A and B are shown apart, each in its own frame.
Chain A
Amino acid sequence: MSEKILKEIIVKVWRQKNASDKGRFETFTVNNISTDTSFLEMLDILNYQLVEEGKSPIVFDHDCREGICGTCSLFINGRAHGPDDDITTCQLHMRKFKEGETITVEPFRAASFPVIKDLMVDRSAFEKILHAGGFVSVNTGGVPDGNAIPIGYDDAEAAMDAASCIGCGACVATCKNSSAMLFVSAKVSHLARLPQGKVEAARRARAMVSKMDELGFGNCSNTGACEVECPKGISIANIATLNREYLKAKIAE
């Protein structure tokens, strides 16, 4: 794809001082942006511009910038991680936008993801859910040989697919109910499929669902928006697995 220069784009960004501030949009013009520029680089350029003008730069989350860490967020033109499929915001490029276009940028919005500043939100609710049960308990002792535990191909593949969740929160952001079911189901079904995780499957499903409810995430209504916006394309079949695991765990209780 040949490089083009976008002479002018309008960026409408959500600015908010802190969680208690009401927040508002601010509109900026950015000139001469190459279509090969990534979306976050465009925001970097805009921030340089703001710093030079003596204004406060836009705060947003980012880290690896190669789609594996799950730090970047942003709701761009009405979609989590912007107008492209199976990518994180850092993998979004300006070739997806048109000359003179107004780009609306908002933070991920959910009661459980309070805004820290501008576009940066606190997603530590996900960590709290993981602390509740998203792990395999390991005793001390010698390291067992990995190949000594046989795992079927289909289970290994399905577990790996679920394990590819990077915990970015796009599922919550795009869900009309702000439900965290895709995230929780990815963790639960990943570990429940493997012999090491199966042992604690019932306790895990109970603990993670109860923590998810306690933190104020909404209830899944199976719209399927989460799997479309998920950068890793995690299937909502995992949500059916979670429902099954949870019902099983509750019956066994």
Chain B
Amino acid sequence: MSSFVNSSIGKKFFMSITGFFLMMFLVVHLSINLLLLFDDSGNLFNQGAHFMATNPLIKIVEPLLALGFVLHILYATYLTLKNQKARPVNYKKADLSKSSSWASRNMFVLGTLILIFLVIHIINFYWQLKVSHTVPGVMVDGVEMENAYGLVAGLFKASLIYCLIYITGAVFLGIHLTHGFWSAFQTIGWNNDIWRKRIEFVGKVFAILIAVGFSIIPLYFLIKF
């Protein structure tokens, strides 16, 4: 087992598995977030957020999610450093654009940008909801819950800059996924010449859905209010 963890394929296996896990998280996260768009009173989203916050299953998955992020980032950093060591003297003239996509060559750069976004995102919402508890309460159908809608809508209505930051974050995430999605399948060996085109296609559609889906939310508040 230790030789598997230390091998190149073993480390990439963890990149892939954590990647799959994070992609599933994105789907759940986006579906709850889209509730923001369908009820301007905020009750629908608040109920959704309250359901997620009180759901015992989510309580179990939440630390796993944090671990997924940490492992994905740590392995990426380690592998990138190792990869740079594998070519100590660089080419003076290299034209890799003919043979590979920009996203595939810049996954670490994109990942770093997404991490910066993630920190801003956590400070904006997660911290206030879960750590500092500075979000005022609201009554929905006789149940007291935190006014998460007010927090999100308030930020996007008040600040064009934050709207742009969130849209940029979503776009970076989308570009990261154009390579990440199919790459996760390839790394655990779920691929061949026939399935590759299909997986790559689904990956591109998934990346666009995630980027557009998350961008719509700040755009909605920017345009409507």
A interface residue numbers (CB < 8 A to B): 14, 23, 25, 75, 77-79, 104, 106, 109-112, 174, 176-179, 209-210, 212-213, 216-225, 228-229, 235-237, 239-247, 250, 253
Contact = CB atoms under 8 A, between A and B. Distances in A.
Interface in B76-124: 79, 82-83, 85-96, 98-101, 104-105, 107
Given A177-B83, A210-B7, A220 B12 contact: yes
Contact of B104 (A104, A111, A222): A222
Interface of B: 3-4, 6-13, 79, 82-83, 85-96, 98-101, 104-105, 107, 179, 182-183, 185-193, 196
13 contacts: A23-B89, A75-B91, A79-B99, A106-B92, A219-B12, A219-B82, A219-B83, A223-B100, A223-B179, A224-B99, A224-B100, A225-B100, A244-B190
Contacts of A174: 96, 99
B104 A212 contact: no
Contacts of B191: 237, 240
A212 B185 CA distance: 22
A23 B92 CA distance: 12
Given A216-B85, A224-B100, A78 B93 contact: yes
B100 A219 contact: no
A106 B192 contact: no
A78 B94 contact: yes
Contacts of A244: 188-190
A121 B119 CA distance: 45
B92 A104 contact: yes
Contact of A223 (B7, B9, B104): B104
B86 A179 contact: yes
A221 B9 contact: no
A228 B100 contact: yes
Contact of A79 (B11, B98, B186): B98
B84 to A, nearest CB: 8
B111 to A, nearest CB: 11
Given A78-B96, A229-B99, 5 more contacts: A78-B91, A177-B83, A178-B83, A243-B9, A246-B7
B193 A221 contact: no
Contacts of B8: 179, 209, 212-213, 217, 219-220
Given A235-B193, A240-B186, A243-B187, A104 B93 contact: yes
A109 B87 contact: yes
Contacts of B79: 219, 221
Among B98, B101, B107, B179, find the residue whose CB has the most chain A CB atoms closer than 10 A: B98
B46 to A, nearest CB: 41
Nearest to B196: A237
A112 B89 CA distance: 11
A109 B91 CA distance: 7
A237 B189 contact: no
B92 A223 contact: no
A247 B100 contact: no
Contacts of A109: 87, 89-91
Nearest to A104: B93
Contacts of B13: 243, 247
The 10 residue pairs across chains A and B that have the minimum distance between CB atoms: A244-B189, A78-B95, A218-B86, A240-B191, A228-B99, A177-B83, A178-B86, A225-B99, A223-B100, A243-B189
A205 to B, nearest CB: 9
A157 to B, nearest CB: 11
Contact of B183 (A112, A213, A221, A246): A221
Given A111-B85, A176-B105, A221-B83, A213 B7 contact: yes
B3 A222 contact: no
A237 B8 CA distance: 18
B17 to A, nearest CB: 11
Contacts of A243: 9, 12-13, 186-189
Contact of A237 (B10, B93, B98, B193): B193
A237 B194 CA distance: 9
A106 B93 contact: yes
Contacts of A104: 92-93
Given A78-B95, A209-B7, A218 B187 contact: no
Contacts of B90: 109
Contact of B83 (A176, A222, A235): A176
